[in-house]
Amino acid sequence: MKLVLLDAKTLGNDIDLSVFETFGDFISYETTDSDERIDRCRDADIVITNKVIIDRAVMDACEKLKLICVAATGMNNVDLDYAALRNIEVRNVAGYSTQSVVQHTFAMLFYLMERLPYYDNHVRSRAWTESGIFTCIDRPFHELHGKQWGVIGLGTIGKEVARVAEAFGATVVYFSTSGRNDDPLYPRMELETLLTTSHIVSIHAPLNERSSNLLDMPRLQMLQKGAILLNLGRGGIVNETDLAEVMREREIYVGLDVTEKEPLPERSPLYGAFETGRLFVTPHIAWTSVEAREKLVAGIVLNIERFLKRHTI
């Protein structure tokens, strides 16, 4: 049996992938360009992909292909309808990164809320040494305790963020992007009400027709002065052009772990927003704790084992 991993670099070089060798002939590629997919997958029984697209053209060229393992939760990089038509199973891994994403959410929050870049530079520049006093209150910050935290997308990650926010003494409200979530633990609000009343707004929703461009110019302008907006869902949920303009006009603080296009394009409007000193962007790393990536690989292994118990290759 032949297994092919198309984008091992997305899993990191600190994660042991040798476990896949126990299933048969395992070939791992750091990255795979679009025009390399068919050649690399042609003789594979099992293909493992994180973000490399597996579409009709690839499946038609790979007669032996029986299983596609997505090294992620989202499966939008696979043509699921055509895979079903070809009797090719597709399996993802859910829940592996919940704690990692929640931790990163709060890391971004406190980085922005406590004005940590300013105070770090205050010490490094020797301004504190030269100040003559034991403290510095040049950039006042507030406590999370007593603030309203609005969660957009109260799924598994959103609920865990809500639980931790409550532990800090915040009051949690939420907006359901699907319109179907009715959680009795927290007040459900219309989006406009949530945006105008919340001190912190965090996004943990998938990108679909209901959430695409959800936060555009009119809604971004609803955020109150000093509000913190965190997007750890998908980049297309926030209109980045509108966001950059609003950040230049109003005092809001923004943390993004996801952007509409990744990596960030050279001409992204977000580069202009960095000049405000209130934008913090990380390169889609919220899911990448060592523990999360180890769970992800273990989940892929489990999917392969379950498949092999049902099928003979």
pLDDT in tens, 265-285: 999 999 999 999 999 999 999
Residues 248 and 103 occupy one common structural domain: yes
pLDDT digits (tens, 9 = 90+) for 295-308: 999 999 999 999 99
The answer to the question of residue 185 being in a domain is yes
Q: Domain range holding 213?
A: 98-281
Residues 103 and 90 in one domain: no
Q: What DSSP character marks residue 20?
A: G
Catalytic residue among 37, 104, 199, 284: 284
Q: Is 286 within the bounds of a domain?
A: no
Same domain? 177 vs 199: yes
**pLDDT (tens digit per residue) in 109-130:** 999 999 999 999 999 999 999 9
Residue 90: pLDDT band (50, 70, 90) is: very high
Q: Are residues 87 and 111 in the same domain?
A: no
- What interhelical angle do 116-124 and 98-113 show, nearest 10? 60
Neighbours of 52 (CB within 10 A): 25
What is this structure's pTM?
0.94
C-beta separation of 59 from 86 below 8 A: yes
The chain-wide mean pLDDT, for the chain, equals 97
pLDDT for 313:
67
pLDDT classification of 168: cutoffs 50, 70, 90 = very high
Same domain, 275 and 301: no
The per-residue pLDDT for 179 is 87
Catalytic residue among 262, 275, 291, 305: 262
Mean pLDDT of 140-149: 98
Whether residue 312 has pLDDT greater than 80: no
Out of 204, 234, 278, 293, the active site residue is 234
Q: Do 56 and 177 share a domain, yes or no?
A: no
Residues 69 and 168 in one domain: no
28-37: average pLDDT: 98
Q: Quick check: is 234 catalytic?
A: yes
Q: Tell me how far apart the alpha carbons of residues 212 and 115 are, in angstroms, rounded to a whole number.
A: 30
Query: Tokens standing for 188?
Result: 């459900």
Count structural domains, the chain.
2
Nearest of 163, 138, 129, 137 to residue 149 by alpha carbon: 163
**DSSP secondary structure of 253-266:** EEEES--SSSSPPT
What percent of the chain has pLDDT above 90? 96
Give tens-digit pLDDT for 227-242: 999 999 999 999 999 9
Q: How many CB atoms lie within 10 A of CB 20?
A: 22
- Together in a domain, 65 and 175: no
- So what's the pLDDT on residue 181? 84
**Residue where the block lists tokens 């290759």:** 313
Q: What is the pLDDT of residue 283?
A: 98
284 is catalytic: yes
Q: Are strands 2-5 and 46-49 parallel, antiparallel or unpaired?
A: parallel
